[in-house]
């Protein structure tokens, strides 16, 4: 077994790559533990004093969070500071406060005990929600609750402010307030036992541009403060006590990656034209109106997918027509003359709307249930508000509209009939909109794909949602870890279906975009282009790698690749072929 120069054994731990980069340094161990809460009965004549003590702790906590917020705003920027909006909202949650007081009145126990009981209930409820983003919010409640308890008990709060030398932060968990306390000039990398790609530690690590690996389970139990540790934020690997050979190997990798990233960014300034002179359109997927800055930074040609459901999820309520109109208009104006494809609401499935059980009742199979266009057609008032907002915004830029989860021609006709009603309403009210607004269909349900020849006659463009198309075609839940190995984008069934959809569209002379994750993956992008996709749309930071590859290949070679792949019979063989195609063209050194 290899050892480091002090004779300690090298230990390799696989986690989740959360922020790119490689770092090596000594560990700064940070263990966050829950506050011990003493329980006792309060004398009945002290009741009002006890409630006042609770209210005072809430007030002090609010002031502390506001102070952290302004520090983060100063050090990291307003986007990161907004993480703490969620914390302030927890403190403003009347249910949490009044339930604590009710618990106190009923039990007569000290407010720490009552508040702890109520907040634990909230944390549990959030942590069981079937949505990664909302699940992560249980961390916000936990963070705020710990602060309130510390203030009630008169403890000073823990922080990472003792980090005064350059170190790799190794923690069991990092709350947003912990993260805010990190001196960005001293953190070489961040590693956490828990967490996922959307955790706050990750958001902060990315904004500090330091490597991060999360989900390393019990690494904090194996690390001693001062141990030497190597963090590979590309592959999600952490190596404790790395040997000289490992350090040498990573030194080489780091040089290659740096050189490669530089080349990617340089290439990104040039047009996306293949070696045989074909221009490829690379567009952005966005989820919020303020992501237009990212679209411009990565030089995307407009937006190929605006996932509007995040307007609803972030607001925590159904936004009004006016609020949506302003958001869509802002995006269209910021990116004009480039076009913006606005997808109508795709709530449900893995994106339920918390606190709206009357609209989204619990379902046994949410991915096969009340989702996207099904929900919209069943709730015409909500759907029409969105359609009118999109139509009105279309007067201010190059907007296109598309429907998610269309299963066939009749459903598309029903959606279009609602759109026609909205147009009539706006006309009657003399409100401007683009009468030639292009309307597309997402192809992400196998029944739509198989009837693509029919659908192509009724719409202006297709956008293939490979994330869902693969899930439904292969019957593999896209968010279930246990069957993730069965989720195979190169399954021959997927290839045949993509080819049929693309050919059907081209026969009707309409364009096809691919906006699922496959489009932003350098392994699959050539295959999609070879199959005939006209546009690829992806999260903006993935554009440089795909553009680099586009500029290093001939479209005719990609077409030959697709033809060869279509003749193969196994997903693994096709994957190997695609992998080889990309690797031969993009050398990392």
Residue selected from 143, 468, 488, 521 as contacting ligand PEP according to rule CB under 6 A: 468
List the structure tokens of 211.
């490597």
- CB hemisphere CA count around 56 (13 angstroms): 11
Q: Which of 473, 502, 501 minimizes the C-alpha distance to 488?
A: 473
List the structure tokens of 224.
């001693």
**441 touching ligand PEP, by CB under 6 A:** no
**444 touching ligand PEP, by CB under 6 A:** yes
**301 touching Mg ion, by CB under 5 A:** no
Binding residue count for ligand PEP, defined by CB under 6 A: 10
Residue 210: CB partners within 8 Å, gap ≥ 6?
19, 21, 23, 184, 187, 188, 189, 190
List the structure tokens of 506.
């081209």
Question: Which one, 173 or 350, has the nearer CB to ligand PEP?
Answer: 350
Q: DSSP string spanning 372-434?
A: HHHHHHH-HHHHHHHHHHHHHHGGGSEEEEEESS--SHHHHHHHHHHHHHHHHHHHHTT----
Question: Which one, 21 or 489, has the nearer CB to ligand PEP?
Answer: 489
Where do we find the tokens 């996922």? 196
Helix and strand counts by DSSP (H, E) for the chain: 24, 16
- Helix or strand (DSSP H, E) at 264: helix 244-268
Residue 516: which of ligand PEP, Mg ion, none does it interact with, CB under 5 to 8 A by kind?
ligand PEP
Question: Which one, 112 or 468, has the nearer CB to ligand PEP?
Answer: 468
Residue 307: which of ligand PEP, Mg ion, none does it interact with, CB under 5 to 8 A by kind?
ligand PEP
| Closest CB 346 distance from Mg ion, rounded Å | 6
Site for ligand PEP in 515-534 (CB under 6 A): 515-516
Question: Which one, 111 or 401, has the nearer CB to Mg ion?
Answer: 401
Helix, coil or strand: residue 51: helix
| Closest CB 512 distance from ligand PEP, rounded Å | 13
Alpha-carbon dihedral 468, 470, 472, 475, rounded to 10 degrees: -130
Residue 178: which of ligand PEP, Mg ion, none does it interact with, CB under 5 to 8 A by kind?
none
**284 touching ligand PEP, by CB under 6 A:** no
**465 touching Mg ion, by CB under 5 A:** yes
Burial 258-268 (b: 16+ CB within 10 A, else e): eebeeebeebb
Q: How far apart are CA 102 and CA 96, in angstroms?
A: 10
Pattern 29-68, binding to ligand PEP, x per CB under 6 A?
Answer: ----------------------------------------
Question: Which one, 310 or 325, has the nearer CB to ligand PEP?
Answer: 310
Question: Taking a C-beta distance cutoff of 8 angstroms, is the pair 406, 448 a contact?
Answer: yes
Residue 515: which of Mg ion, ligand PEP, none does it interact with, CB under 5 to 8 A by kind?
ligand PEP
Q: DSSP string spanning 441-485?
A: EEE-SHHHHHTHHHHTTS-SEEEE-HHHHHHHHHT--TT-GGGGG
| Closest CB 135 distance from ligand PEP, rounded Å | 18
Binding residue count for Mg ion, defined by CB under 5 A: 3
Site for Mg ion in 166-225 (CB under 5 A): none
Question: Which one, 25 or 516, has the nearer CB to ligand PEP?
Answer: 516
Site for Mg ion in 425-454 (CB under 5 A): 444
Question: Which one, 84 or 403, has the nearer CB to Mg ion?
Answer: 403
Residue 551: CB partners within 8 Å, gap ≥ 6?
267, 270, 272, 273, 274, 275
Burial 153-187 (b: 16+ CB within 10 A, else e): eeeeebebeebeeebbbbbbbbbbbbbbbbeeeeb
| Closest CB 466 distance from Mg ion, rounded Å | 9
Percent of the chain that is helix, strand, coil (3-state, to 5): 55, 15, 30
Question: Taking a C-beta distance cutoff of 8 angstroms, is the pair 344, 308 a contact?
Answer: yes
Question: Taking a C-beta distance cutoff of 8 angstroms, is the pair 336, 369 a contact?
Answer: no
Binding segment toward ligand PEP, per CB under 6 A, in 215-223, 411-419, 461-469, 524-532: 461-469
**309 touching Mg ion, by CB under 5 A:** no
Residue 466: which of Mg ion, ligand PEP, none does it interact with, CB under 5 to 8 A by kind?
ligand PEP
**349 touching Mg ion, by CB under 5 A:** no
| Closest CB 397 distance from ligand PEP, rounded Å | 22
Residue 397: which of Mg ion, ligand PEP, none does it interact with, CB under 5 to 8 A by kind?
none
Pattern 303-332, binding to ligand PEP, x per CB under 6 A?
Answer: --x-x-------------------------
Question: Which one, 191 or 327, has the nearer CB to ligand PEP?
Answer: 327
Q: Which of 195, 170, 189 minimizes the C-alpha distance to 16?
A: 195
Q: DSSP string spanning 86-130?
A: HHHHHHH-HHHHHHHHHHHHHH-B-HHHHHHHHHHHHHHHHHTSS
Residue 258: CB partners within 8 Å, gap ≥ 6?
none
Pattern 336-355, binding to ligand PEP, x per CB under 6 A?
Answer: ----------x---------
| Closest CB 128 distance from Mg ion, rounded Å | 24
Question: Which one, 274 or 400, has the nearer CB to Mg ion?
Answer: 400
**350 touching Mg ion, by CB under 5 A:** no
Between strands 237-240 and 228-232, the pairing is antiparallel
Residues forming the active site = 200, 515
Where do we find the tokens 């193969």? 568
Residue selected from 215, 465, 526, 540 as contacting ligand PEP according to rule CB under 6 A: 465
**466 touching ligand PEP, by CB under 6 A:** yes
Binding site for ligand PEP (CB under 6 A): 305, 307, 346, 444, 465-468, 515-516
Binding site for Mg ion (CB under 5 A): 444, 465, 468
């Amino acid at each position: 077994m290899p050892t480091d120069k002090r004779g300690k054994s090298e230990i390799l731990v696989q986690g989740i790559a959360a922020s790119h980069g490689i770092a090596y340094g000594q560990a700064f161990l940070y263990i966050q533990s829950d506050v011990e809460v003493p329980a006792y009965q309060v004398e009945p004549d002290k009741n009002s004093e006890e409630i006042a003590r609770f209210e005072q702790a809430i007030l002090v906590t609010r002031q502390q969070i506001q102070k952290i917020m302004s520090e983060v705003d100063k050090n990291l920027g307003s986007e990161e500071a907004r993480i703490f909006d969620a914390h302030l909202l927890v403190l403003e949650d009347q249910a949490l406060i009044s339930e604590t007081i009710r618990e106190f009145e009923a039990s007569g126990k000290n407010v720490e005990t009552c508040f702890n009981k109520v907040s634990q209930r909230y944390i549990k409820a959030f942590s069981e929600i079937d949505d990664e983003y909302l699940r992560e919010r249980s961390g916000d409640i936990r963070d705020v609750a710990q602060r309130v308890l510390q203030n009630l008990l008169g403890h000073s709060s823990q922080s990472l402010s003792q980090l005064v030398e350059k170190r790799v932060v190794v923690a069991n968990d990092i709350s947003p307030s912990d993260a805010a306390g990190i001196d960005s000039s001293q953190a070489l990398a961040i590693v956490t036992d828990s967490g996922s790609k959307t955790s706050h530690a990750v958001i902060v690590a990315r904004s500090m541009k330091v490597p991060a690996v999360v989900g390393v389970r019990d690494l904090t139990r194996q690390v001693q403060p001062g141990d030497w540790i190597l963090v590979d934020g590309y592959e999600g690997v952490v190596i404790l006590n790395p040997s000289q050979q490992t350090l040498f190997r990573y030194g080489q990798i780091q040089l290659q990656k740096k050189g490669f990233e530089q080349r990617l960014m340089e290439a990104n300034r040039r047009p996306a034209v293949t070696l045989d002179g074909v221009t490829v359109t690379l567009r952005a997927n966005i989820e919020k109106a303020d992501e237009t800055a990212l679209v411009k930074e990565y030089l995307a040609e407009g937006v190929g997918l605006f996932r509007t459901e995040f307007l609803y999820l972030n607001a925590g309520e159904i936004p009004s027509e006016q609020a949506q109109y302003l958001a869509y208009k802002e995006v269209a104006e910021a990116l004009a003359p480039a076009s913006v494809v606005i997808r109508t609401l795709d709530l449900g499935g893995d994106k339920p709307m918390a606190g709206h059980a009357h609209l989204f009742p619990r379902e046994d199979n949410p991915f096969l249930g009340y989702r996207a266009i099904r929900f919209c057609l069943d709730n015409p008032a909500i759907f029409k508000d969105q359609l009118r907002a999109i139509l009105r915004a279309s007067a201010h830029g190059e907007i296109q509209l598309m429907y998610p989860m269309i299963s066939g021609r009749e459903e598309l006709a029903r959606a279009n009939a609602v759109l026609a009603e909205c147009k009539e309403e706006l006309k009657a009210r003399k409100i401007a909109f683009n009468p030639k607004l292009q309307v597309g269909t997402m192809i992400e349900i196998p029944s739509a794909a198989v009837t693509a020849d029919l659908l192509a006659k009724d719409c202006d463009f297709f956008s293939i949602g490979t994330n869902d198309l693969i899930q439904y075609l292969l019957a593999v839940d896209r968010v279930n870890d246990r069957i993730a190995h069965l989720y195979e984008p190169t399954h021959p069934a997927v290839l045949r279906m993509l080819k049929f959809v693309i050919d059907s569209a081209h026969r009707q002379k309409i364009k096809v975009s691919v906006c699922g994750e496959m489009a932003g993956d350098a392994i699959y992008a050539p295959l999609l282009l070879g199959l005939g996709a006209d546009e690829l749309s992806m999260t903006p930071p993935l554009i440089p790698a795909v553009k680099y590859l586009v500029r290093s290949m001939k479209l005719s070679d990609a077409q030959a690749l697709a033809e060869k792949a279509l003749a193969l019979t196994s997903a693994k063989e096709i994957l190997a072929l695609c992998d080889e195609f990309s690797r031969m063209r993009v050398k990392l050194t």
